[in-house]
Structure 1
Amino acid sequence: MPFINLKTLLRRESVGGALLVVAALVALIWANSPWAGGYEAFRSFTVILPVHAWAADGLLAIFFFVVGNELKQEFVRGELRHPRRAVLPIVASVCGAVVPALIFAVITFGHGDAAGGWGIPMATDIAFAVSVLAVVGRGLPPALRTFLLTLAIVDDLVAIMVIAVFYSAGLAWAPLLGAVAGLALFGWLQQGPMRRGPLRQGPLTRGPLRRGPLRRGPLRGLPQRQLPMKIVLVPLAVLVWTLMHESGIHATIAGVALGLLMRTSTLPGETISPSDRAEHLIRPWTTAVILPIFALTSAGVTVTGAGNLLASPAAIGILAGLIVGKIVGIFGGAWCTTRFTRAELHPDLTWPDIFGIAQLAGIGFTVSLLIAELSYPNDLGLLESAKAAVLLASGIAATLATVTLTLRAARHRRRAPDPAG
């Protein structure tokens, strides 16, 4: 029974959020300690790819798969099936990416190479943002988490498209087309084509391989064999990830796409959908292993550039973009959308809740650090000050959001009806 209790515990997002925060603090302290060389050696240890690349591109893709899969459930049978509600976080996300970039561009205009980092404050780090919400959000409506998931995924998609178009040497089209073809095959297999067709009578028609009646044909009613789909789908998913990585697009996109293609309905002979089964199996791993490793390999940012923040237009642009721009873009975009269109806010949510989420979206971190490295590859001073600014802005955004969302959670708990009647 302790094993079952452990699995139940690891499915709680608050536990995953706490583990991620602890791992991030360990990485930050380690990277700025006398043993910083050991931390860098750990991150750079290479087996085909460096450890930090495996974490950011590989393990995080599994987390994005879980998030994409959860969003698919929301779009099919959750609150996002209502177009008027689904459009709100999407528009807010786009505004939350554009406004910070504009603020950065205004602040750095005329400052030479510094202006090239306009994409840095666009991104929201979904892993950290969701984890912070899980830690402080007890009592908040579930619809708020769905809003954040949609917001962060669209935000990351916009940021990764910006990287692909403006910050990369170019796309490798052959692997990209191969990844698209793999995704199409993955989606088709989700519909259960391997379940159809008669099976010759024999020992394979008995036991665990026996799966439901045939739906058509002269042998209708006879049992059929279904090859366990994970034997096909898991290697196909790995292939899609590999091709996406080789194409030059951030490989976490493969995780999102695969998750959105999961089937949420059951076919004859199934007791649980592939979407629900995958969520049940993978979530404890994302909580206990994937997110802490990702934080440990990503959060070790040196703060040597902190002393130059106020003298660096790029750093000021990042701070203003992530802390102010995200709030203005997301909150303002959502409010204007409801004001001038037929889009609507979920009835369980209020505008102060959205304000807290807008603050939380200022946690840029991983993708922001990636864009910083791409923006200033030949200027170590700009790069160090940009990284320090991302770290500081993310910390401020997380702190402000924690205060706001904690107060909102307490208010929601007070307003909740008493179960005892």
Structure 2
Amino acid sequence: MTAAPPPQRSPFLGVLPWPERRAIAAALRTETIGGLVLLAAAVIALVWANSPLGDVYQQIRDFHFGIPALGLDLSVGHWTADGLLAVFFLVAGIELKRELVVGELRTPATAALPVIAAVCGMAVPAALYVLTAGLGGGSLDGWAVPMATDIAFALAVLAVISTHLPAALRAFLLTLAVVDDLGAILIIAIFFTGDLNFLALGGAFAGLVLFYALQRFRVRGWWWYVPLGVTIWALMYNSGIHATVAGVAMGLILRTTLDKGEESSPGARVAHLVHPFSAGVAVPLFALFAAGVTVSGGALADVFTRPEPLGVVIGLVLGKILGVFGGTYLAARFTRARLNPDLAWADVFGLSVLAGIGFTVALLIGELAFPGQAVTEQIKAAVLIASLASAALAALVLLRRNKVYKRLYEEENIDADEDGIPDIYQREATPAER
């Protein structure tokens, strides 16, 4: 009897299914534009903070307003970090839910490599920070700072250098960032929680249960969800848990599957409405009031001589490369996955370098890890330096392969019959997949 042929190994970074590619392309377009605005906001913050108007910058950032009776008397900087970033994490929660239900994370086979890469890309930078700071006699409180990847900043770098990354590489980068965001929110919820107010926490939990019930019974109308969402956010803030947790929780609750007769799910509709505000307003405003660090020779020297900021730089620049690339390579080596023959491991290496851009969430965790301490400014400077170094190195690596990317990109987008669906899907996909 003839032995059965071995099972075909699934391609890693192959052509995405057409529905998945459309969904990811729509998300990445908004992130790219938002990333360019984010870059502009960071540059403005740095110039403003180091100009003769630097005192004005600090006064605006530290100006308090709100409703003290409700425990919401916050500075402008805290409103952007606790309030506006909740919108960012709402979108992250929706994207994570979509990935888990209909995207790359819905099956263990497709989820294995990006999840392993993301987990290694968080663990190795944290370990390098602990090693660097520990050997230097510094504080270990900042271990989580170099764990995050900023997808908007990374896409902005790709836009600036005009590279033509194939859709599969961009999707892999997006999935890395989504898992990173989940890790970040878990770290914030578990390790950066203050004294708990159980009454407020119970109220926030009850609000989330009501939010779920409204979704479960298909209740529609913004007038239900917006007041409830704001209430949940305020209760979560007063509970002692970082308020951004409320955003990701509501994002995970929103339904991402279609009912009969629906053209889009509630999660897709909310993401469509909120994502542009998150990428174009919320995150850039946070960057504007978080990235304004004083740059001087002494400040830059401190980044490379003090153990805490040095640990952040090493964690982001070196740790992300070792973690993401090493995790991906080992996972592919010891599983049935095989790399798309049109690509090379140098392409995965380029994405690993790009993952060292940890801007937004890294700045947020830096503020939480060292609240009100002098080292906070050094940590911020370290995040900026590491992100810029990773961006520059990634540009060098990816541009060397741009001819290959351009060819693959053009092949993926050939539409000879002009029906709006690239020909590659009509040759290889079934009608159900199209």
* TM-score, normalising length: structure 1: 0.78
What is the CA-CA distance between 1:329 and the residue it aligns to?
Answer: 1.0
The whole-number CA distance in structure 2 between the counterparts of 1:372 and 1:105 is 14
Deviation string, structure 1 residues 89-110 (Cα, Å, up to 9, x no partner) = 2222221122112112222335
From 393, 414, 419, the counterpart of 1:419: 414
Q: Secondary structure at the match of 1:146?
A: helix
Q: Secondary structure at the match of 1:267?
A: coil
Instruction: Give the match for residue 246 of structure 2.
Output: 254
Distance 1:63 1:392, change over 3 A: same
Distance 1:73 1:114, change over 3 A: closer
Distance 1:103 1:47, change over 3 A: same
1:121 paired with 2:139, answer no
Distance 1:311 1:278, change over 3 A: closer
Query: Is there any run of 5+ residues in structure 2 with no aligned partner, and where?
Result: 1-25, 67-73, 417-434
Instruction: Give the match for residue 351 of structure 2.
Output: 357
Instruction: Give the match for residue 30 of structure 1.
Output: 48
What's the Cα RMSD here? 3.1
Query: Is there any run of 5+ residues in structure 1 with no aligned partner, and where?
Result: 1-7, 195-227
1:295 paired with 2:290, answer no
The whole-number CA distance in structure 2 between the counterparts of 1:390 and 1:410 is 31
Distance 1:84 1:116, change over 3 A: same
What is the CA-CA distance between 1:359 and the residue it aligns to?
Answer: 1.6
Instruction: Give the match for residue 206 of structure 2.
Output: 181
Instruction: Give the match for residue 132 of structure 2.
Output: 107
What is the CA-CA distance between 1:178 and the residue it aligns to?
Answer: 3.4
The whole-number CA distance in structure 2 between the counterparts of 1:399 and 1:367 is 20
Deviation string, structure 1 residues 122-145 (Cα, Å, up to 9, x no partner) = 233344335445555763233433
What is the CA-CA distance between 1:185 and the residue it aligns to?
Answer: 2.8
Contact 1:331 1:355 in 2 (8 A): yes
Contact 1:364 1:390 in 2 (8 A): yes
Higher Cα radius of gyration: 1
The one-letter code of the counterpart of 2:255 is R
The whole-number CA distance in structure 2 between the counterparts of 1:343 and 1:190 is 37
Instruction: Give the match for residue 151 of structure 1.
Output: 176
The whole-number CA distance in structure 1 between the counterparts of 2:131 and 2:321 is 17
The whole-number CA distance in structure 1 between the counterparts of 2:50 and 2:201 is 38
Q: How does 1:164-175 map to 2 (within 5 A)?
A: 164-175=189-200
Q: Secondary structure at the match of 2:105?
A: helix
Contact 1:85 1:346 in 2 (8 A): no
The whole-number CA distance in structure 2 between the counterparts of 1:364 and 1:82 is 27
Q: Secondary structure at the match of 2:59?
A: helix
* TM-score, normalising length: structure 2: 0.76
The whole-number CA distance in structure 2 between the counterparts of 1:420 and 1:376 is 53
Q: Secondary structure at the match of 1:117?
A: coil
The whole-number CA distance in structure 1 between the counterparts of 2:406 and 2:81 is 36
Instruction: Give the match for residue 62 of structure 2.
Output: 44
Q: Secondary structure at the match of 2:356?
A: coil
Q: Which moved more, 1:347-356 or 1:239-248?
A: 347-356
The whole-number CA distance in structure 2 between the counterparts of 1:141 and 1:284 is 23
Contact 2:49 2:292 in 1 (8 A): yes
Deviation string, structure 1 residues 208-259 (Cα, Å, up to 9, x no partner) = xxxxxxxxxxxxxxxxxxxx43221222222222222223333223222322
Distance 1:25 1:267, change over 3 A: same
Distance 1:369 1:89, change over 3 A: same
What is the CA-CA distance between 1:324 and the residue it aligns to?
Answer: 0.3
Deviation string, structure 1 residues 334-365 (Cα, Å, up to 9, x no partner) = 22222234567789875333322322222233
Q: How does 1:220-369 map to 2 (within 5 A)?
A: 228-267=220-259, 270-304=262-296, 305-341=299-335, 351-369=345-363
Distance 1:342 1:258, change over 3 A: farther
Q: Which moved more, 1:337-346 or 1:121-130?
A: 337-346
Distance 1:273 1:350, change over 3 A: farther
Q: Secondary structure at the match of 1:112?
A: coil
The one-letter code of the counterpart of 1:395 is L
The one-letter code of the counterpart of 2:334 is F
Contact 1:84 1:344 in 2 (8 A): no
Count of residue pairs the alignment pairs up: 379
Instruction: Give the match for residue 428 of structure 2.
Output: none
The whole-number CA distance in structure 2 between the counterparts of 1:139 and 1:277 is 29
Instruction: Give the match for residue 69 of structure 1.
Output: 94
Q: Which moved more, 1:89-98 or 1:12-21?
A: 12-21
Q: Which moved more, 1:368-377 or 1:80-89?
A: 368-377
Instruction: Give the match for residue 394 of structure 1.
Output: 387
